[in-house]
C-alpha cells in the first residue's frame, strides 16, 4: 500500500513536470563511445540525504538513470541510492547485446550472497553495448555509479518519448528524498549510516541486514 501511494504521488508530480517541460528535449552530450572507455561527464551533483543526484541525467523511480548521448543512443546505469542499498555484490548479470529491453521491465540482476534482485530499465530499445568492466568488477558501481559503473547503452528509437516518463531536476531530488525517508522507516539503524557529517552516504546502508530482508527491501525500492 505504501508503494502504491508513493507511485500515485510520483505520477501526479510527473504529469506536472511534463506539462511544464513538454517542449524540452534531452540535450545530447559530447561523450566518446569507445568500448570500456568511460566517459560520463562529472557535473557537480546535489546531495540529497547523503546521495548524489546529478542534474545531467534522468531517473526512473526504480532508481536507474538514463543519459542521452544522441537522439537515439542512451547510456544507462543505477543511481547512487541503488548502488549503496545494493552494497557489496558478487556479480551483476547484464543483458545481451542486441536484446530488446522495455521501459519499466527487468534489465539487470544483482547477486549478493546467493540472493538475487532485479533492476528495471529506464528506457526502451535494443542493447547496443554493455560495460564488460562492470561485469568483471561489480564494485565499480558502488565506487562510481554515474561514471565507470555505467551498465549499458541502448539504441532507443523512441528515446524522446521515453524521457518524458523519467524524473529530472527538482522531481528527481524529491523522489530521492522520499526514498531516503522510507529507508529510514524500514531500517532505523540506517539513519546513522546514511550520511556522515552531512556528507555522502556510506557505501552500504543496509550491509548488516539478513539477506532475505535485504532482498525484500531492495525489491520494494527497485519496483521489481
pLDDT, one tens digit per residue, over 59-109 is 999 999 999 999 999 999 999 999 999 999 999 999 999 999 999 999 999
pLDDT at residue 166 in the model: 98
- pTM, entire model: 0.81
pLDDT at residue 30 in the model: 40
pLDDT at residue 64 in the model: 98
> Residue 35 above 70 pLDDT?
no
User: Of 3-12, 21-30, 209-218, which gets the smallest average pLDDT?
Assistant: 21-30
Mean pLDDT for the stretch of residues 29-53: 61
> Residue 58 above 60 pLDDT?
yes
Mean pLDDT for the stretch of residues 35-43: 47
Which residue ranges form the domains of the chain, and what is each CATH number?
2-170 (2.40.50.100)
pLDDT at residue 77 in the model: 98
pLDDT at residue 8 in the model: 54
pLDDT, one tens digit per residue, over 124-169 is 999 999 999 999 999 999 999 999 999 999 999 999 999 999 999 9
> Residue 14 above 70 pLDDT?
no
Cell of 155: 539504441
> Residue 39 above 80 pLDDT?
no
pLDDT at residue 19 in the model: 52
Query: In this prediction, what percent of the chain has a pLDDT beyond 90?
Result: 64
pLDDT at residue 209 in the model: 81
Amino acid at each position: 500500500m505504501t508503494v502504491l501511494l508513493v507511485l500515485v504521488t510520483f505520477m501526479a508530480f510527473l504529469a506536472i513536470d511534463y506539462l511544464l517541460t513538454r517542449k524540452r528535449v534531452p540535450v545530447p552530450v559530447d561523450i566518446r563511445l569507445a568500448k570500456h572507455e568511460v566517459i560520463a561527464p562529472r557535473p557537480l551533483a546535489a546531495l540529497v540525504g547523503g546521495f548524489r543526484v546529478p542534474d545531467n541525467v534522468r531517473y526512473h523511480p526504480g532508481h536507474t538513470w538514463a543519459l542521452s548521448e544522441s537522439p537515439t543512443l542512451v547510456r544507462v546505469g543505477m543511481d547512487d541510492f541503488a548502488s549503496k542499498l545494493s552494497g557489496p555484490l558478487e556479480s551483476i548479470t547484464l543483458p545481451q547485446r542486441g536484446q530488446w529491453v522495455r521501459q519499466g521491465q527487468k534489465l539487470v540482476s544483482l547477486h549478493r550472497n546467493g540472493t538475487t534482485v532485479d533492476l528495471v530499465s529506464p528506457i526502451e530499445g535494443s542493447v547496443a553495448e554493455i560495460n564488460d568492466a562492470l561485469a568483471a568488477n561489480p564494485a565499480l558501481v558502488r565506487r562510481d555509479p554515474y561514471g565507470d559503473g555505467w551498465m549499458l547503452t541502448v539504441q532507443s528509437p523512441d528515446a524522446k518519448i521515453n524521457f518524458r516518463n523519467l524524473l529530472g531536476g527538482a522531481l528527481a531530488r524529491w523522489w530521492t528524498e522520499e526514498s531516503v525517508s522510507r529507508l529510514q522507516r524500514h531500517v532505523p539503524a540506517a539513519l546513522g549510516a546514511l550520511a556522515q557529517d552531512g556528507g555522502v552516504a556510506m557505501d552500504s546502508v543496509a550491509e548488516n541486514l539478513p539477506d532475505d530482508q535485504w532482498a525484500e527491501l531492495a525489491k520494494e525500492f527497485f519496483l521489481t
